Amino acid sequence: MATEYETVIGLEVHVELATKTKIFCGCSTAFGAEPNTQTCPVCTGMPGSLPVLNRQVLEYAIAVGLATNCEITRYAKFDRKNYFYPDNPQNYQISQLYLPICRNGGVEIETEEGGVKIVGIHEIHMEEDAGKLIHDDWEDCSLVDYNRSGVPLIEIVSEPDMRSAEEVIAYLEKLRLLIQYLGASDCKLQEGSMRADVNLSVREVGAKEFGTRTEMKNLNSFKAIARAIEGETQRQIDLIESGEKVVQETRRWDDVKGESYAMRSKEDAQDYRYFPDPDLVPVAVSDEMLDEIRAKQPEFRTEKMKRYKEEFDIPDYDIEIITGSKHMADLFEAATALCGQPKKVSNWLMGETLRLMKEREIEAEDLRFSPENLAKLVALTDSKAINSSVAKEVFEAMFEENVDPEKYVEEKGLKTVNDEGALRGVIEKVIAENPRSVEDYHNGKEKAIGFLVGQTMKAMKGKADPAMVNQMLKELL
């Protein structure tokens, strides 16, 4: 009988914090600037420059720690991790090894069987991001851009508590949602503001000891993570079955080829010579500081779902979807507060919004329309100023460019014509031009009226209330 194996997975998740400035200097963290235009002596490792900690980084790190049930280290320090690489301007990265800011936490995830499981969090530490290396084929060299150098990161190190790709993704989704709710990061895998390294080993089912693990890097989507886990599990099983040994090493996942390869070099000793950074002073977290951060913690998803059930008359399914994104929940609440129509706001989100998101392949966090405009759109349909098909057109424009629905309707002349006189003229013309349908109607074919309504709407270029057209048609016939 074939041996059965179990996969043991732990994650190191890097999250770029949503601060305005870098962790140790006053340079902007804004995305997409020209290379090296958001740099200074500190984040480019100029001789004589010194780091000073951004208070917001500490607050975000503690907030994430509290949200993931960690103990907050009351006396934390920064350490230097020494290694040479061109994207690392000082050739050491300021990180935390000995006294990280958060330890011993955990989050609940739902398992495939529908149960609940806790994934332990070993620690969370603060550190600085590296710069970007760009390969230049023409010169056959690399080019360094330090705009990202010094962007604040937290690294969330889990315990080896996960056993499948599904659990890994559930854990990542959970972290992502918590952090988005906190506003500490937008957590976008594709853009690199959330990155996961996978530590994986296999062992025979029932074995007590862990097998030798490898670390996999360069995983920038949930799909890539799932594929990499599957690939690495199989690679390790194959090695074991063929009598070979798994080597503890760092491997890079190539998602295009669907395989990983070792990142080995005799010049990389992997001996980081960590020691406390003498340029930074310790962080002492007081009770007051903790209380303040605790007081600022937002309502998380579970509480929000509970409150929605009590406050709003919308289906559980809607609540599930809406609260699945902090941004969408914010949109929902703000728009509802403005127009007082939770059900209608929810319908827009569940219907057109999801449809367009799927079509355009964008995430909820990237929705650009404002709650004000959504509320205005609800008001416009409520007052019958526009009909539902016009409303969809308006919504699409709003979805794309966050247009003001009132202005848009005005400018495009989309307002429903409620003038009975004008409508009567059009309807009479439609009746005159469609004698067969009129006859069908009179012969009891109720459906024929639908065609006539359609013709009227067409003649009105959509700017009529179909119910009103229906009503008037019946009268005139």
Partner 1 sequence: MANIISDETIEYVGILAKLELSDEEKERAKSDMGRMLDYIDKLGELDTEGVEPMSHVFPVQNVFREDVVTNGDTREALLTNAPEQKDGMFMVPKTFE
Partner 2 sequence: MSIIDMTAAELAAAIREGKTTAVDAAEAMLERIEEQDKLYNCYVTVDAEGALAQARAVQAKIEAGELTGRLAGVPVAIKDNMCTAGLLTTCSSKILYNFVPTYTAEAVRNLQKAGAVLLGKTNMDEFAMGSTTETSAYGVTKNPWNTEHVPGGSSGGSAAAVAAKECFYALGSDTGGSIRQPASYCGTVGMKPTYGTVSRYGLIAYGSSLDQIGPLTRDVTDCAAVLEVIASHDEKDSTSIERQDTDFTAALIDDVKGMRIGIPNDYFGDGLDGEVKEAVLAAAKTLEDKGAVVERFDLSLVEYAIPTYYTIAAAEASSNLERFDGIKYGYRTKEYAGLHNMYKKSRSEGFGEEVKRRIMLGSFVLSSGYYDAYYLKALRVKALIKKAFDEAFAKYDVILGPVAPTTAPRLGSSLADPIKMYLGDIYTIAVNLAGLPGISLPCGTDRNGLPIGLQLIGDCFQEKKLIRAAYTYERARGAFPTAEKEVG
- Residues that bind partner 2 in the complex, under the rule CB under 8 A: 41, 44-53, 80, 82, 84, 86, 89-92, 144, 265, 267, 271, 273-275, 278-281
Least separation, in Å, of the C-beta of 90 and partner 2? 5
Stretch that binds partner 1, among 116-124, 129-137, 176-184, 309-317 (CB under 8 A): 129-137
**Separation CA 345–CA 333 (nearest Å):** 9
Nearest to 334 by CA among 378, 383, 379, 370: 370
Candidates 129, 145, 155, 465; binder of partner 1 (CB under 8 A) is 145
> Choosing among partner 1, partner 2, none, which partner's interface includes residue 337 (Cβ < 5 to 8 Å by kind)?
none
- Interface stretch with partner 1, choices 16-24, 168-176, 179-187, 331-339 (CB under 8 A): 16-24
CA–CA dist 455, 476 (Å, integer): 15
* Ranges of H-type helices in 413-465: 420-433, 435-442, 448-459
- Name the DSSP letter for residue 365: G
Nearer Cβ to partner 2 (53/285): 53
The backbone torsions φ and ψ at residue 93, rounded to the nearest 5 degrees and listed phi first, read: -105, 135
Q: Does 77 sit near partner 1 (CB under 8 A)?
A: yes
Nearer to partner 1, 52 or 118 (CB): 52
Identify the bridge partners of residue 262 per DSSP, sorted by sequence position: 251
β-bridge partners, 93: 81
Q: Which is nearer to partner 2, 6 or 277 (CB)?
A: 277
Adjacency order of strands within the sheet including 275-276: 92-95, 79-82, 275-276
Partner from partner 1, partner 2, none contacting 282, C-beta within 5 to 8 A by type: partner 1
Residues 6+ apart with CB under 8 A from 88: 130, 131, 149
Q: Which of partner 2, partner 1, none does 80 bind, CB closer than 5 to 8 A by kind?
A: partner 2
Binding partner of 90, given partner 2, partner 1, none, CB within 5-8 angstroms per partner class: partner 2
Residue 413 binds partner 1 (CB under 8 A): no
- Residue number with CB closer to partner 1 (32 or 243): 32
| Closer by beta carbon to partner 2, 239 or else 263 | 263
Pairing mode of beta strands 214-217, 250-254: parallel
What SS3 class is residue 100? coil
Token look-up 């495939």 returns 112
Of 1, 4, 135, 205, which lies in the binding site for partner 1, with binding defined by CB under 8 A?
135
Length reported for the chain = 477
**Near partner 1 by CB under 8 A: residue from 9, 13, 27, 196:** 27
Q: Are 245 and 214 in contact (CB under 8 A)?
A: no
Among 11, 58, 130, 335, binds partner 1 (CB under 8 A): 58
199, β-bridge pairs: 10, 215
Measured from the CB atom, the residue of 152 and 231 that comes closer to partner 1 is 152
CB 155 within 8 A of CB 12: yes
Nearer to partner 2, 248 or 302 (CB): 248
- Strands 275-276, 79-82: pairing is antiparallel
284, interface contact from partner 2, partner 1, none, CB < 5-8 Å by kind:
partner 1
**Interface contacts to partner 1, rule CB under 8 A:** 19-21, 25-28, 34-40, 44, 52-58, 77, 82, 84-86, 133-136, 139-145, 266-267, 269, 271, 273, 275-276, 278, 280-284
